[in-house]
Amino acid sequence: MDIGGVIRTNRKKLGLTQEQMAVRLGVTAPAVNKWERGASLPDIALLGPIARLLGVSLEELLSFRADLTEEELAALIQEADRRFSQGPYDQAFAWVRDTLAQWPNCGKLTMHLVQMLDSWAVLEELPEDGERDKYITDHYVRLLESGDEDLRRAAAEALVLLHIRWKRYEGAEAFLNRFSRYDLLGKLLRGQVQDESGRTEQALRTYEELLFQGCHYLTLVFQHMQAAALKAGDRDRARMLADKQGALAAVFDMGKYAELSPRLEPALAAGDADGLLALLEDLLEAADTLGAFAGSPLYAHMTFKPRDPSMTGMVRRTLLDVGAEADALREDPRWAALRDRWEKEQDAG
């Protein structure tokens, strides 16, 4: 509601006529009428007296709010979409300027409207325009200092993609520094910048590192999901998640041991001697595939540290300890024979 509407609504609540209000403020009734119709605004010196007379704060009188409600935000975004869809781009741009000038600190509104400015310029194949590009860039740069992490990250992504489109690769790399070295999106954008700027080998290594990092991240997610399922007593779900994790390891060339090992915890929980014995035997055999990814063509541009030869023995020793503590195998002569064979091999190694 504008100031005229606030005056009219609160005047009527108090049961005052325009003439009575005018007398109390020392102005004319036509002046009050003009305020309420929006034909003119009160003198700044009258704002305090008007607020006191009507029993409202200055913020209420001026309809001041620090930020938009979600409903208001949605309405403005919808209006922007309508203007870009139906009207000339320049007129929509002018409306965006005016709207953001009214709400300069609303980060969500800024992000949405500036993204529309950029995407519609691309969609309409508009030529580069220094004023427009500077306006878009300046607003994204401001969002880099937002208190909202999601807005900061989205602004950094937008700035990188803008500079890639403009073939300003040094500028793109400057904004890549806004991403953590562990941020998957940041790494993907880095690979894109390297590829677009002709550094193909670097780009391939970056993409391979992203695959490798992503595989380990997803593996951790599966492990936590599986642990939660076992804690809840849902063994069927735990086995399903083990199968999914094993398939993930196969796709990313992590080696046979990585494919089989997710099945161990569900097998221990099930207490099935035959299944557990077969799995432990397969895992003991597959222990020497640890680090198999280093020889995969999927990671041809990456360099890995040489695998520690003692790691295989340590993993086998852990598996033998696991089997020894499993109730299902405690009195099983097949386990005793398997354990003795591998312990002899460990000693011989």
Q: Residue 308: which pLDDT band, with cuts at 50, 70 and 90?
A: confident
Q: Residue 65: which pLDDT band, with cuts at 50, 70 and 90?
A: low
State the pLDDT at residue 192. Answer: 96
Q: Domains of the chain: which residue ranges?
A: 3-61, 70-200, 205-348
State the pLDDT at residue 210. Answer: 95
What burial class does residue 86 get, using C-beta atoms within 10 Å of its C-beta: 0-12 exposed, 13-18 middle, 19+ buried?
exposed
pLDDT tens profile 276-285: 999 999 999 9
SS (H, E, C) 327-345: HHHCCCHHHHHHHHHHHHH
* For residue 28, pLDDT beyond 80: yes
Nearest Cα neighbor of 287 from 244, 263, 326, 318 is 318
pLDDT tens profile 29-64: 999 999 999 889 899 999 899 999 999 888 778 765
CATH 3.40.640.10 fits 3-61, yes or no: no
The answer to whether residues 8 and 66 touch, using CB atoms and an 8 Å cutoff, is no
User: What's the alpha-carbon Rg for the chain, to the nearest Å?
Assistant: 34
Q: Which long-range contacts (CB under 8 A, 24 or more apart) does 259-262 make?
A: 259/286, 260/286, 262/222, 262/223, 262/226
- Tell me what percent of the residues of the chain surpass a pLDDT of 90: 77
Number of C-beta neighbours around residue 66 at 10 A: 8
* For residue 344, pLDDT beyond 90: no
State the pLDDT at residue 349. Answer: 59
For helices 273-286 and 333-348, give the axis angle rounded to 10 degrees: 10
Mean pLDDT of 306-331: 90
State the pLDDT at residue 138. Answer: 95
Q: What is the model's pTM?
A: 0.76
pLDDT tens profile 71-114: 889 999 999 999 999 989 999 999 999 999 888 888 999 999 99
d(CA 253, CA 205): 16
Number of C-beta neighbours around residue 166 at 10 A: 13
The CATH code belonging to domain 70-200 is: 1.25.40
- Do domains 3-61 and 70-200 share one topology? The answer is no
pLDDT tens profile 185-225: 999 999 999 999 999 999 999 999 999 999 999 999 999 99
State the pLDDT at residue 87. Answer: 83
**Residue 330 has which token pair?**
């405690």
The answer to whether residues 95 and 60 touch, using CB atoms and an 8 Å cutoff, is no
* For residue 135, pLDDT beyond 60: yes
Helices (H) and strands (E) in the chain, counts: 19, 0
